[in-house]
């Protein structure tokens, strides 16, 4: 920093980056993105209904006609050539597990079975029906039809 040098060189000024405006931007942008962030993932269960004008087909003679009737207290599994099985629903998790095992067993004994009918009461909660559809899918019965129990 000799006196003679000062005239020859431009003085280097330390440039201070002004980040306050950038911070302002972040303060606005981050809450907005946080609010629109997805913490719950949605998916769907597809159901294909036959067109309104189609008539009901007769099931093929070999088919099991597997059906699960659900009401508040129990699951009743019925099939063409098997005795009806009743699973008490006192404990939800064990009941679901038992039902999955039972259905998987039936599928194993009768390979080629894909259809199941879910018969629900008028006041069965939607969540129970969805859970039953999950159980059927897990047990290897992707083709599910819903029916209402109008006998009662």
Partner 1 sequence: MTSMMDILTVLLLFLLKSFVVEAEVITPAAGVQLPESTSRQDPPETVVIAINDEQVTVGDHVVAPVGIGNGDSLLIPALAAHLRTLQDQSRSLASRRGESAPIAGRITIQGDRDMPFQLLQRVMYTCNQSGYDDISLAVIQTS
Q: Which is nearer to partner 1, 2 or 18 (CB)?
A: 18
Residues 71-130 that bind partner 1 (CB under 8 A): 120-127, 129-130
Closest CA to 69 of 59, 77, 79: 77
Cα–Cα distance for residue pair 64/85, rounded to 1 Å: 14
Q: Taking the CA of residue 132 as centre, how many other CA atoms within 13 Å lie in the half-sphere pointing to its CB?
A: 25
Choice from 2, 12, 15, 38 touching partner 1 (CB under 8 A): 38
Cβ distance 152 to 124 under 8 Å? no
Cβ 129 to partner 1 shortest distance, Å: 6
Inter-CA distances, 70 with 60, 92, 146, Å:
25, 12, 11
Choice from 11, 48, 58, 62 touching partner 1 (CB under 8 A): 48
Choice from 12, 49, 56, 83 touching partner 1 (CB under 8 A): 49
Locus of tokens 């006998």: 151
Binding site for partner 1 (CB under 8 A): 19, 22-23, 26, 29-30, 33-34, 36-38, 40-52, 120-127, 129-131, 133-134, 137-138, 146, 148
């Amino acid at each position: 920093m000799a006196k003679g040098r000062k005239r020859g060189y431009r003085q280097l000024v330390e440039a201070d980056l002004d980040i306050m405006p950038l911070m302002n931007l972040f303060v606005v942008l981050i809450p907005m993105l946080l609010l629109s962030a997805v913490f719950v993932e949605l998916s769907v269960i597809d159901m294909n209904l036959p067109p309104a004008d189609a008539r009901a087909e007769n099931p093929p003679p070999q088919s099991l006609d597997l059906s699960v009737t659900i009401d508040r207290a129990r699951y009743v599994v019925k099939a063409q050539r098997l005795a009806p099985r009743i699973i008490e629903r006192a404990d939800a998790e064990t009941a679901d597990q038992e039902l999955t095992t039972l259905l998987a067993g039936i599928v194993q004994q009768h390979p080629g079975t894909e259809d199941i009918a879910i018969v629900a009461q008028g006041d069965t909660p939607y969540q129970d029906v969805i859970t039953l559809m999950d159980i059927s899918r897990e047990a290897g019965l992707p083709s599910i039809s819903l029916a209402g129990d109008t006998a009662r």
